[in-house]
Structure formats: structure tokens, C-alpha cells
Structure 1
Amino acid sequence: MNRENQFVGWQPYRSLNEGMNWPDGQALPSFATPEELDTFTLYHQPDDVKNTLTVMQGLINRKKTRIFLNGIKGKEEGADHWPTALHLHRNEKTTDVFAFIAKYQHEFGGVVVYDGERSPHMVNLAGTIAGLQNLLPVDVKFYQAFAANGIELKILVDLTTLQFENHVEMYQYMYDTYWEGCTKRVMVSVDPVVHHAYIRDMAAAVGAAVVWLDARIPEEAAMLHRFLDDMTAGESILLGWWPEERSGIGAGTRHGISTIPSDYYDNATVYAGMSHILRIPTVPKKQRLENKVYIAIFLSDGDNVQYCQHHMSILWRDPKRGTIPINWTISPGLADIGPGLLNYYYDTITENDCMCSGPSGLGYALIYDSHNEVYYLQDGELANAYAKFSEQYLAKTGIRVITVWDVLREIHFDAYATHCRTLYGVTLEDWFRKPAALKIHVEQNKLTFAPNYPAYAETCDDIYNHMKEAIATFDGTKPLFLSGQGVSWSMTAENLAELKQRFEDLQPGKIEFVRADHFFALHNEANGVPFNLALSPDVKVTASDSTCHPAKVINGSPSGDNVWSSKNPGAWVSLDLGAAYSLTRYTLKNAEFSGMDASLNTVALKLEVSLNGKDWTLVDEQTGNEKAAIDVNLDPVKARYARLTVIDPGADGVTRLADLELYGIA
């Protein structure tokens, strides 16, 4: 009775001593584990020097992670916050930029020189060529001082002789001359005037084209789409930012390709070398469903990895954090570009902090632009490709809820419900309530979509004013579910605690601020939609022998000690759900699920169910399964009890499992 395992795996991450690892299906490469880092501080350096050193960092770190750059941004969280938190060993030996370059000059083939005064966009062209040919990009005036300071690098590409009427013509030259050699898995969009030292190390390391084109201007948009036409939905990703948010994000989305905003993300090739074993936190039990007002508040901008690196770390240190449930948007892309940052948040999380994905999955996709009334993602195949790519990263990071910008059509509802099986729910941005307010929608009787109203509220007063009527008129006859999003740049945990009290004054004893995963579980329970029964407080767990750790298989993180382990064939763990439910699905993760080892150790298991705890019916058996998880749809079966039994513990004789989920309805 082997049912089809719906889980889609990925190539495992590997620890590296040198080089990069970039298997198919992985958005960005992992780098060698940083050991001792030569460090240079960029404060007070000219912009062209910052560009040179950041590209140099990428070229060196793609061979072995050796360079860390201080003082690029880091002002919000403090320049030493992340290096200290992640135990990086920085060795700052010099403040002499020429000496710093000279140490590594033998690792470059030469230089590509450009004249930034002629056009700032030449920085992007030079950086692109540098990544392809292992050259150092240097402004011609900076280069004039090389020889006198002991740097003996010859000019191999001279861009100072090129003449372009405008920067579009220059990018056409880039496309015609160098695009063929660039990776099509990544393209980087950064402002050559503003973004001097951010994300350019990653661009150089992977051999990506670096552009800056405005999708609002027809001739620039046409040039941008020439690049995007050669990239592939579900495989490619964009990094950086855009001249204007919605048109730029929308241009990528039109091709099914999202942007990981990273315009101020620094030291990407260092942080991408940290351990990729993610310490996904355990999910607490939800509360019992009552006739109350359940409110989920989301903080915005977590899709932006520079926000995760900088401003979010300030909000995270608010002493009021953890006093009420807050749903923090964060980027699933951190699994690649900053796993150490993600683990920092996971290691310091409270039960009132819930991590969710920003718009609209892996990277920022703008499916429908409510402000300009434009649907960017209209192709069902592209929507499916984006959803599949997102699911891989939602599963890796343990993220169960996403916020979509802005709203969806049926092809999008179907894409998420079909391919993002990790999700408990999705919120939509109800910006204007036109032509009418969005309604809660359930797709395929399993995935719930709820409007955030308000969307991107600047203050708690905005949230209060949008929700107060619904709360004040709540009659207590059935649960009410409300969700809203606040702007993280202007809202704090203390603000939200005060907001909760204001709502309590409207309906004393009837207000529950909740985690997003609990919000959707409670909604589904109230509306006859299958939900994860293992979240329920009434579930009791027993096991066959003392070598098992039964409690840890329920809502347990697949890392650390939060696992069920046994050496005994025939060992079992049994769940008493507290009442009979119609079961429709179950999932189970390998203990190494979030780490390097993505296999299930070919462990063989069977799932049986019972109404009375005595008479058991086999509903599924998994043998020879080499995936990192099991995700199986069941023919609906009524049961109060479920029992998972080890048939064969696998090659090493130990079963190590976590996070058993049973889905069903009363």
C-alpha cells in the first residue's frame, strides 16, 4: 500500500573547505566555510574603491572564503553585531588599500579599467566582465596609482576607449558581447551611483550580469526583457533592486522570476558559507477554538534580505518582543545567502514569534499590481514554476505562511495549493477594497487565502481604524478572523501590545492575537477545512518502548534533539487525537531534513489508524523511500488513533524522525 510521496526534495548542501557548490535547483551557491578572514574597513573609501574591493571579495571568496569587508552598511545593527553573533574570526591587518589588494594580486589575471566619469554605468559593465574573466575592475584614476604602490596588474580589458550615446546602448553592448558567457541563473540589478559595495561580491562570484534598467522607460524596458527572456522560471533569481519598485519587480514576475531584494546586503559570499543546517524552531500547540476574534498581525519587508540583516535585528532586540504574538516576514532565500542569520533568529525566537515569508514566496514577486491595475504573472506554467521553486525554500526553512502581493486569480490559487504543500495559509494585500473587499478563499479544500486589511499600514492607528468596526460589532456567535500587515520601519512590539489592549477595550475577553500558523489552523478548524491535528492541545502521545522519544515527533523541529529515535524494528509511536476525525493526509520529516543529508535513510514505515485504539487498519506503507520527508494524501478515513510503526530502521539501524503531522476535519 505504498502511496505516492508528494514531497519534492533537493540536492543536499555540503560543507566546503574551498570553492563553491551550486547544484541544479538551488537558487544561490554555498561557499567554503569561513575560517580566518582578512578584513578591510570601507569607511571613508571612495565609491570606486568600494566597488573594486567588493568585486575582489567575490572573486577571492569563490575560491576560498577569505575576505570580509567592514563598514559597508552595518550602522543600524552595529558593525560587529553579525560577526560577533556568528563567531566569525576577522583578522584586520591593514588600513592600506593598496597593500590589501597587493596581497591577492597574484590571483587575478589582470584588470578591466573603466572611466566612471564618462558614465557611472561603466561600473556595472566592468563588474560583469571581471566576474567572467577573473579580472579586477578598476577606475582609470585609481589604476594610475597601482604601480607606484606595488601592484603589478596589467590592463587586459580597456573600457575607456568605448563610446556609447547612452547607457541603454552600453547594456546592449554587454548583451551582445558578454551575456552569452554569464550565468542565466542569476542577474543582479544595482544602481551604479548608490549601490557601490552591496551584493556585487555575489555577482562576481557567480559570473552574473550587472544591470540598472528602468522598466518604466520603453527603451530600457525592452533592453531589460532581452536579458529576462533568456532566464528560466523556477531556476533563475534576480538580486539587488530596481529604479522603481513595482515596475521592476513586475518585469521579473512577468517571466515567472522573482527578486531577492538585496541592494544593501553586504558580505554575501561570507554569509553564504555558513552552515546550512537550519535549526527550525518547534511550533507550540495552538489554543482551543472558541467564539473569539482571532487577529494575526504581520510585519512587512522580510522579503528584503538587507532588512533581515540590518533593521530587523534592531526590532528583534526589543525587550517587548515575545510578549504578544507577532508574525515576522523573513526571506526563505536566507537558506542560501544567509543561513547563519536565519539560525540566529531561530535560536533566539520565542513561542510568540512566528516566521512567515514576504511577497510572494521565494523572492519578491508582484503577481498583480493593485496600484497600477496590472497582472504581471498571467501564464499558468510560469506560475507553477514559481510556486514549485518557492515550495523548496519554504520546506527548507520551515515557513508555513506567506504574504502574496497583491491579489490572485484562479491560476495562482491553484498553483500555490497544488505545489506549495508546506503552506498552512496565504495572506493577500487588500490595499483599496475595490471594487469590493477581498474575501477569505479556500482552494482545493485545503489552502486558505485571507486578505490583509489593512495592507502595509504605517501605524497601529491605521490597523485599529480598519478593524475596529468589525470588532465592535462582533456578536460572539462564531469565531471572527482578521489579519493585517504593519510597516516594520515604523512599528514595534510595544506598539502592537498597546494595539491589542485597545481592541480588548472594545471586546473584553474576546480578543486573541495569534501566530499565523495558529490563525490558519483555527480558521480551518472552524470552517471544516483539513488542518494539522498535531497542533491541537488535546493530542496525547505514547510509544512502544523507552528508547523512543514520542513527544518529540509531534511538532518537533527536525534538528538537534527534537526527534523521535529508536533502534528497534517494530517500535511505534501512537497518537490519541482526543476525538474522531476524518484523516486526509500525513507528513513526516527525517531528523536530518534541514541539514546536509537530505535522504530518509531508506527507512521503512507504516501508518495504521483506529477508532478504538484496539482494532487497527493499515492506511499507508513507505518502503525504500530516499526523500527527506514523507507527504502522502490518504483516502479519507475516520479515526481517533494513529500509529506509526518502524518496519526497517534503515542502513545504520537507527530511526530518527520528527514533525509528524496528521491532517483532518471533525
Structure 2
Amino acid sequence: PPWLRELLFALRLDGLLKRLALAWMGCKSAEVKLSNRIQTAVEVLPYPTIFGWHTKRDDELTFMLQLSSNGLRLVPSHLAGNFSFHSQVNPLDEFKADPIPEVKLDPQGTYVTFTLSDGDQLMMMNTAELGNWNSPARGSIPFNWETQPLLADLAPALLERFSRTKTANDCLVAGPSGAGYVVPPLAAHFSDYMRATTKTCQKAGINVVTTYVADPPRRVLNQLVKYKGHLLGFLSGYAIVTRAPQELVQGTPVFANEIPQVAHIWDTASQLLSQLEGLLLKVNDKPRFIGVHLFAYRTSIDDVAAFIKKHNTGHLHFVRADEFLLLAQKHLNNSSK
């Protein structure tokens, strides 16, 4: 529960508990013990990185909990083809971040931003984010694309394909949870991870990050913003487990997505968008900010474009992630005066 997590992190007992858990898991399984030994031996260049995916004998969450606790980040490289080629193709130019948008807050507005998941996977980048990038709908609506910023080093020309063909409505965001996949509260060296993320995102021309956990402990939130560098802010939560806080942390917006709940990750597009429609009908406090994290294997940009076409009226605004965070920041700054 959140209160217990906050207590453990405040007392700095999380590191001890992680080490005990890893040792206990290793005692129960020779395979886990060997895996721990391999993972802890990975070199720091500049942050320990593992390429691959989990096996059929475990699952994604178990795998991520283990490698994050062992101080690693993951570059998901299952089904990633031709990267020996991509790694050798030089980009035409340096990556440049989009200009920081000028935003005007509608006091009665409801702001919604959509983010396509799983762009940290090399396979997603190598398949034009499973075809969504090639959709005729792209460019017609504000839309965020999770991206693997480490492509700036691993496959720079592939990343450049996205950066050079994006429209004014396309926003490339890093995550989860930055440069390489980690579960932030469990990351053994999260400050180092954030330093590496900031440096890599700057090189990749990215200024927004999606972070995996919607409601991390306060100590993790403070680390996020302490080492954020040029980053504008953070969208948090692959899915919501308990809470979806939206706040300024030392002046930086860290806003949890409100959709989906963890039990609804596999909902169809119609189910997910019906949930959003219901949420919009219940909006009372204004302005309101709703982040929607789209599971890439269930909901497409075409589904979102059709939804926006039906609902883009009045004080309902669909915006990019950078606009969303800047507007939220403006609103909370105004509220604190």
C-alpha cells in the first residue's frame, strides 16, 4: 500500500529489502541465482544495460523487478531485426528538440493527451511503431509517441526517420522510464539512471519522459526532478494501480495518466475510449487534465482520431504532451498564488 511504501523509502529501508529479496529468490532457484550473478556483473557504460526480453518461464513484471533491483536498465530487443545494419547508418544531422510551445490556459478547459505505449521496444521503432506512424491519420491530431532515446547511439538514422518526418502534432517522448526500461522505485542507482536519461534525451532531441509507476514514493519523485536537466516534466503510469497524483514537484509537473487502470490494460479500443468518454462526462473541477496511455497492441492512432473527430468541441482540448505539462504547470502555479 502507498503509505507503507512511503514509510520504507523515507526510512531508506528499500535498499536492504531489495537485497534480501534478491538473495531469498536466489536461494529458492538456482536459475535466479545465476541470473543475479550475471546481471550484477554487467559493466557500467555509462549505465548497466541488458538487451533482450524475459523467457516463457517468467513474466515481464518479474523480469523487470529483478533487473531493476540489480541496477540494470533494459533495452527490449526481442523481434528486433536488422540492427546490425541500423547501428552502422549515420544520421544526416544532429537531433533537435521541438521549440517549447507557447500555451494559453483555458480556465474552463479539459485537456486530454494520448500516448502510444511500448516505444522503448526496438521492434516497435523498427516497425514504424507497429504501423501507426504510417497511418493517414498521423499529423491530423496531437499525439505522443513513446520512443527509445538510446537509438541516438544504437540506431541514429532510424531515430532520425521519426524526427525528420514528424509533424507539428507529433511529440516524441522517452520511456518508460527514460533512456532504457526500468521500474524507478526499484532501480538500485536511480540518480545515475536519471543523469544518463537526461544526457541521452538531450542528444535525441526529446524533452518529455513517461515514467513507469504512476505514484512513486516521494524520494523517487525528488530524484526525478533533481536530475531532470532540460526535461519539461513527466507523464507517469503505464497503468494505474492505486493512485493517480498530479502535482508540481519543486516546480516540475509530474502528472499521472488516469487511463488505463491496471485491470484494463488489455481493453479493446472501444472499451478504453468509452471509459474516457465516461470520465469526460463526470468532469467537475476545471481546468482538468487527463492523460491516456494507449496499449499499442489494442488501440491505434486511427481509433483516437475517430474519437477526437466526434468530441473536439467547446472547452475540450486535445494536446501534445509538452503542451499538456506546460498547461498543467501554469494552472498549478496560478492556483498556488
The TM-score normalised by the length of structure 2 is 0.81
1:390 aligns with 2:201: no
Give the alignment partner of residue 349 of structure 1, picking from 166, 170, 188: 166
The answer on 1:484 being equivalent to 2:289 is no
Runs of 4 or more above 4 Å deviation: 214-217
> Taking every aligned residue pair, what percent have the same amino acid on both sides?
22
2:171·2:321 contact (CA, 8 Å) conserved in 1?
yes
Structure 1 unaligned segments of length 5 or more: list them.
1-213, 369-375, 530-664
For 1:185, the equivalent position in structure 2 comes to none
**Match in the other structure for 2:7:** none
2:320 aligns with: 515
| Partner of residue 406, structure 1 | 213
Are 1:450 and 2:256 an aligned pair? yes
In the TM superposition, what are the counterparts of 1:577-656 in structure 2 within 5 Å? none
1:471 to 2:280 alignment: yes
CA distance in 2, matches of 1:430, 1:338: 25
The answer as to whether partners of 2:240 and 2:258 remain within 8 angstroms in 1 is no
Please name the residue that 1:327 is paired with.
144
Q: Distance in 1 between matches of 2:32 and 2:292?
A: 34
Mapped partners of 2:28, 2:229: distance in 1 = 39
Change (3 A) 1:462 1:232: farther
CA distance in 2, matches of 1:245, 1:256: 17
1:256 to 66, 71, 80: 71
3-state SS in 1 of match to 2:145: strand
Cα distance change, pair 354–457 in 1 and its aligned pair in 2 (3 A): farther
C-alpha change, 1:223 and 1:433, in structure 2 (3 Å) is closer
> Could you tell me which amino acid in structure 2 is paired with residue 260 of structure 1?
V
Letter aligned with residue 123 of structure 2: Q
TM-score, normalised with respect to structure 1: 0.43
Residue 329 (structure 2) aligns with:
524
Q: Could you list the per-position Cα deviations for residues 59-106 of structure 1 after superposition, in whole angstroms to 9, with x for gaps in the alignment?
A: xxxxxxxxxxxxxxxxxxxxxxxxxxxxxxxxxxxxxxxxxxxxxxxx
Question: What is the alpha-carbon distance in structure 2 between the residues aligned to residue 489 and residue 217 of structure 1?
Answer: 35
Unaligned runs of at least 5 residues, structure 2: 1-24
Distance 1:265 1:451 in 2: 28
Alpha carbons 2:176, 2:212 under 8 Å: kept: yes
Structure 1 residue 215, shift from structure 2 partner: 8.9
Contact 1:284–1:351 (Cα < 8 Å) also in 2 = no
Match of 1:581 in 2: none
Q: Using the TM superposition, give the Cα deviation of residue 303 of structure 1 relative to its aligned residue in structure 2, in angstroms.
A: 0.5
Shift of 1:216: 12
1:229 Cα deviation after fit? 1.9
User: Comparing both chains, which one has the higher relative contact order based on Cα–Cα distances under 8 Å and sequence gaps of 6 or more?
Assistant: 2
Which letter does structure 2 place at the counterpart of 1:268?
F
Number of residues paired by the alignment? 302
Q: CA deviation at 1:355?
A: 0.3
- Amino acid corresponding to residue 289 of structure 1 in structure 2: L
Q: Structure 1 275/466 Cα, relative in aligned 2: closer, same or farther at 3 Å?
A: same
Go from structure 1 to structure 2 and tell me whether the alpha carbon gap of 1:339 and 1:282 turns closer, same or farther (over 3 Å shift).
same
Counterpart of 1:461 (choices 263, 270, 280) is 270
Is the partner of 1:527 in helix, strand or coil? helix
- Supply the distance in 1 between the matched residues of 2:95 and 2:235 (Cα, whole angstroms): 25
Contact 1:297 1:326 in 2 (8 A): yes
Q: What SS does structure 1 have at the residue aligned with 2:79?
A: coil
One of 2, 26, 39 as aligned partner of 1:228? 39
Q: Which amino acid aligns with 2:203?
A: K
* Bigger radius of gyration among the two: 1
Shift of 1:287: 4.0
Q: Distance in 1 between matches of 2:150 and 2:96?
A: 15
Secondary structure of 2:131's aligned partner:
helix
SS state of the match for residue 223, structure 2?
A: helix
> CA, structure 1 residues 458+286, in 2 after alignment: closer, same or farther (shift >3 Å)?
farther
Contact 1:327/1:354 (CA < 8 Å) preserved in 2?
A: yes
Contact (CA 8 Å) 2:211, 2:238: kept in 1 or not?
no
- 3-state SS of 2:146 partner: strand
Cα drift, residue 487 of structure 1? 1.6
* Distance (Å, rounded) in 1 between the aligned partners of 2:143 and 2:122: 19
Matched residue, 1:273: 88
**1:432/1:387 Cα in 2 relative to 1: closer, same or farther (>3 Å)?**
closer
Cα distance between partner residues in 1 of 2:79 and 2:296: 17
Instruction: Tell me, in whole angstroms, the C-alpha distance in 1 between the residues paired with 2:311 and 2:26.
Output: 43
For the aligned residue pairs, the C-alpha RMSD in angstroms reads: 2.6
Q: CA deviation at 1:430?
A: 6.5
Q: CA deviation at 1:352?
A: 0.6
1:428 to 231, 236, 249: 236
Distance (whole Å) between structure 2 residues aligned to residue 521 and residue 219 of structure 1: 49
The answer for the alignment partner of 2:132 in structure 1 is: 315
**CA deviation after TM superposition for structure 1 residue 397, in Å:** 1.0
Q: CA deviation at 1:354?
A: 0.4
- Secondary structure (helix, strand or coil) at the match of 2:201 reads helix
Structure 1 or 2: more strand by fraction: 1
- How far is 1:398 from its partner? 1.7
How far is 1:266 from its partner? 2.5
CA contact (8 A) 1:271 1:338 kept: yes
The CA distance in 1 between the partners of 2:73 and 2:239, in whole Å, is 21
Aligned-pair CA distance for 1:231 = 3.0
* Alpha-carbon contact 1:258-1:365 (below 8 Å) kept: yes
1:262 deviation in Å? Answer: 0.8
Query: Are residues 217 and 343 of structure 1, via their aligned partners in 2, closer, same or farther at CA, if it must alter by over 3 Å?
Result: farther
- Whichever residue aligns with residue 224 of structure 1, its letter is S
Structure-1 residue corresponding to 2:181: 364
Which residue identity does 1:450 align to in structure 2? Answer: A
How far off is 1:491 after superposition?
2.4
- The aligned amino acid for 1:294 is Y
User: Paired residue for 1:285?
Assistant: 101
CA contact (8 A) 2:151 2:158 kept: yes
Partner amino acid for 2:330?
E
Q: Distance in 1 between matches of 2:127 and 2:83?
A: 13
Q: CA separation in 1, counterparts of 2:161 and 2:113?
A: 24
